[in-house]
Structure 1
Amino acid sequence: MTESAQLLDAFEARAERRDHRRDFFKMAIGAAAVGATAFTLTSKAGAQSTITDTDILNFALNLEYLEAQFYAYAANGVGLPANQLTGTGTQGAVTGGAQVAFNGDTLVQAYAREIAADEAAHVAFLRTALGSAAVAQPAINISGDANGPFTAAARLAGVVGPTETFNPYETPSGFLLAAYIFEDVGVTAYKGASPLITNKTFLQAAAGILAVEAYHAAIIRTTLYARGYNPANPVELLPLAAGRISALRDSVDGSSSLDQGIAQTTVNGQLVSNIVPTDTNGIVFSRSPQQVLNIVYLNKAAATLGGFFPAGVNGNLRASVAN
């Protein structure tokens, strides 16, 4: 990872975090308006289509496939069993994935195994809830090679140079940064989708999964911050790297600046934790399905595939929208 003398742009107060703008990543992005009251999606052209509970749960299932496969390989070196991959739509294979070289870091390894088990359980639960309507796993790319989406994201974010490779399976820190990409997105995706769910049983389940994803995100954010806290030994500068990933997510999911890194620097240069990314009311922000797809497709424009989903996701919610 590249080093830098500057960790993050200064924040003068916690209340100003939500208004922070990362100018070096400014881009105009599309994000479709989500009408939670009418339970409709409005496209840029103005056409409307009704969102069903099945659509929402299948959208969530696509994301859980991605997370579950990443953690399964990272923790155990093998992916999900074949009987957890079938369903409607085109079933795809997993490209890449490997067990992380934890190098004796038993703490991060334990976290990886616990999160892997949770994510596999989410896949199984959603598949059971959806029954025959469950979508199959789409093609997923979690490769750590030079042409993989992790490297593409790291280059776009400035975590590595334009010719460098980011392989999240080589070190515990690399794994944590890759997990950071997914976990914050999962929390905001479930929060954004929850108002669209009409079935109270499904809504309760979605709230439960959101809580688990929030626990996961807190583990990842806290561990990253702790590993990069010592200013006397800023070898990997993990707070800076996480902040740049946050800025990248912010730049591709819309024009609003909402995403937040794991640390701030005060006016006097003191590093301060920012483990819980909230607005001034202490509330986590939401993302629409389209904004989530902008991130996982690694594309600020309208797209139906790319990034971690090279053939797109399965189901009716599969297109991002650009302004």
Structure 2
Amino acid sequence: MEIFTKKGDQLLTSPEAEPSQRMQRRQFLRYAGAGTAAVGLLAAEACKKDRNSYTGVYLGSGDIGILNYAYALEQLEAAFYIQVVGNTNFKTIFPSTSEQNLFTDIRDHEVAHREFFKAALGTSAIPALQVNFTSIDFTTRAGVLAASKSFEDLGVSAYNGAGYLIQNPDYLTFAGKIVSVEARHAAYIRDLIAPNSFVGSDVVDIASTGKEMERTPAQVLAIAGTYITTKINADDLPTS
């Protein structure tokens, strides 16, 4: 069974091949430490704009928009790691069993993140996005690690930059739990590239604040747009 199918020069994830399809919604809620009542609050929030009036996939406004923004990024990360682990050369590139297991764990984490947002958003969720990873070298260890580092750093900076925009404290709790996992991934990948580099002095202001880098949604989507071929409309995302 193929993990990816081709459409033109785009790589599309195959839902039938992904491990997430075997998961149940209750597992996602348990993963995030959320009860059905908390997630049910999403149903009470409706997008105030007519989606049909926008070009591209409309993320929405308010908390719904921010959660769809996070969902888009988790789709991207999940698709990347599915391709990494599904690569026929995966065990050659990463001959260590411990590395194979850890990359498989990261894939499963990202799939769980993606499916949690999808389940929580319900009918407000954006559709599956098309991605194109042809610019990434999946045939070498250096190529995979470089791309992985970029995705993890992007994900952490995205959560850091959007967290303060979330109004519902339950959603903020979800985001905090997920970004902490993303930060663990980033540290692990950095250590594979260069031992003891997990602190990431290029993204953490060690000298003064000791805080991690943050990026605005506009900055993040501009970078992610290198790989997400589906047009995304983020016009109504909150900015303050």
- Please indicate, yes or no, whether the TM-score normalized by the shorter chain is above 0.5: yes
Q: TM-score, normalised by structure 2?
A: 0.66
Specify whether residues 103 and 205 from structure 1 end up closer, same or farther in structure 2 by C-alpha distance, changes over 3 A only: closer
- How many residue pairs match? The answer is 174
Matched residues in 2 for 1:317 and 1:129: separation?
22
Matched residues in 2 for 1:59 and 1:317: separation?
11
What residue number does 1:278 align with?
A: 204
Query: SS at the partner of 2:218?
Result: helix
Greater share of helix? 2
2:126 equivalent to 1:135: yes
Does structure 1 retain, via aligned residues, the 8 Å contact 2:94–2:100?
no
2:153 corresponds to which of 179, 184, 199: 184
What are the ranges of 5 or more consecutive residues in structure 1 without an aligned counterpart?
Answer: 1-49, 78-97, 151-166, 230-261, 263-272, 298-306
Describe how 1:42-191 pairs up with structure 2 within 5 A: 51-77=61-87, 100=90, 101-102=92-93, 104-143=95-134, 148=135, 150=136, 167=137, 169-191=138-160
Matched residues in 2 for 1:111 and 1:289: separation?
29
Matched residues in 2 for 1:274 and 1:197: separation?
27
Matched residues in 2 for 1:294 and 1:60: separation?
14
Q: Which letter does structure 1 place at the counterpart of 2:231?
A: G
2:231 equivalent to 1:312: yes
Query: SS at the partner of 2:193?
Result: helix
Does structure 2 retain, via aligned residues, the 8 Å contact 1:194–1:206?
yes
**Cα drift, residue 107 of structure 1:** 3.1
Specify whether residues 318 and 62 from structure 1 end up closer, same or farther in structure 2 by C-alpha distance, changes over 3 A only: farther
What residue number does 2:220 align with?
A: 292
**Cα drift, residue 296 of structure 1:** 1.8
Describe how 1:224-239 pairs up with structure 2 within 5 A: 224-226=193-195
Q: CA offsets per residue over residues 223-278 of structure 1, 9 Å max, x none?
A: 1112xx9xxxxxxxxxxxxxxxxxxxxxxxxxxxxxxxx5xxxxxxxxxx753532
Q: Which letter does structure 2 place at the counterpart of 1:184?
A: D
RMSD after superposition: 2.3
Does structure 2 retain, via aligned residues, the 8 Å contact 1:64–1:123?
yes
**Cα drift, residue 122 of structure 1:** 0.2
**Cα drift, residue 142 of structure 1:** 1.6
Q: TM-score, normalised by structure 1?
A: 0.50
| Percent of aligned positions that are identical | 34
Query: SS at the partner of 2:229?
Result: coil
